[in-house]
Amino acid sequence: MTIYAVFFYIIAALIIAATGLAITRKHMVHAVLCLVVSFFGTALLFYLLGAPLPAIFQVIIYAGAIMVLFLFIVMMIRIDPEKTHRFPLGHYLAAGGICGAYFVAAVLLTLLSGPRARQPMPAATASPFDFGYYLFDRHWLSIEMISLLLLVALIGTLHLGLGRVGRKQKKGGGQ
């Protein structure tokens, strides 16, 4: 077992533990903070798997931007965690059934995978230069589409956020 493997297992345990904590917290702030830890772990894992640029993006975008956005929203929306209702038992059972089926399928697929997938993967790194070159060489159109998507998301968010306010203002003006 190489040192990489040790790191992998440690990071994997960290990610799973943090995510597990995140999904079970009653307070959403706690959940988001746990998830930040999980995303940091993911970033480390990316780095370990030879993807330094996605690792950095993971930290900047996921752990930084998205999670902070979550924090803002969580703080904006005040909900008493003690007052939330629980689902009926049947719902939990059904969810457990489906998740169990997925889990069994995943384990079975892992066990049944071919010999090549059982070989330890060789370590390799795609330098940010290579990665960027590859990306803009092959996927320039997709990049443009992604940028468009982000623009649309931006406008949509603005619309959703402003629409109500605008109407309220109009109402107020009417009064």
Partner 1 sequence: MFSKPVPADSLYLAWAAAVFPLAAFGIIMIFLRRLPKAAAGVSLSAIAVSLVCAVCLLARHWHLEMPLESTVQWMASSDFEIPVGVLIDGLSLLMLVIVSGIAFLVQLYSIGYMAGDPGYARYFGFMSLFAWAMTSLVLAPNILQLFIFWELVGLSSYLLIGFWYEKLSASQAGKKAFVMTRAGDTLFFCGWLILLVWGGTVSILDLNHSAHSLSQAMVTASALLVFGGIAGKSAQFPLMTWLPDAMEGPAPVSALLHSATMVAAGVFLLGRLFPFFSQSDAAMTVCLFIGFVSMLLSATMAMVSRDIKQVWAYSTVSQLGFMIMALGAGGYAAGIFHLTTHAGFKALLFLCAGMLIHACETNDMFEIGQAGGRRMKLTVLCMTIGALALSGIWPFSGFFSKEEIMAALAAANSPVWYIGGLAGVFLTAYYSFRLIFVILLPGSTKAHGPGSQSGPEHARAVMHAVLVILAVITLVMGFFAESLQNLLTGQGVNAPGVHGPFPAKVVSPVLAIAGIVVAWLEFGRKDSARIGFAGRISPVARLFGQRWYLDHAYGWLVGRILDRGIAEGCQQNENRVIEKILHTVAGSVTACGRAAAGWHRAMIQSKLMVVFAVVFGLTLILLAA
Partner 2 sequence: MIVPYTHVMLLGGVLFLLGMICTLTRRNLIMIILGLEIMLNAAAITFVGAGLHLQQIEGQAIALFILAVAAAEVSVGLALVVCIYRQTGTVDPQCIEGNKCQLKPDQTG
CB of 103 to partner 1, least distance (A): 11
Quick check: 25 and 34 in contact, CB under 8 A?
Answer: yes
Which residues inside 73-92 make contact with partner 1, applying CB under 8 A?
A: 87, 91
Residue 38 contact partner, candidates partner 2, partner 1, none, CB within 5 to 8 A by sort of partner: partner 2
One-letter amino acid of 175? Q
Specify the 3-state DSSP secondary structure of 165: helix
Task: Give the other-Cβ count within 10 Å of 30's Cβ.
Answer: 15
Say whether residue 102 binds partner 1 (CB under 8 A): yes
Nearer to partner 1, 96 or 128 (CB): 96
- Burial profile 118-147: b = 16 or more Cβ within 10 angstroms, e = fewer: eeeeeeeebeeeeeeeeeeeeeeeeeeeee
Give the one residue of 13, 94, 143, 158 binding partner 1; rule: CB under 8 A.
94
Say whether residue 117 binds partner 1 (CB under 8 A): no
Point out which residues bind partner 1 (CB under 8 A): 87, 91, 94-95, 98, 101-102, 105
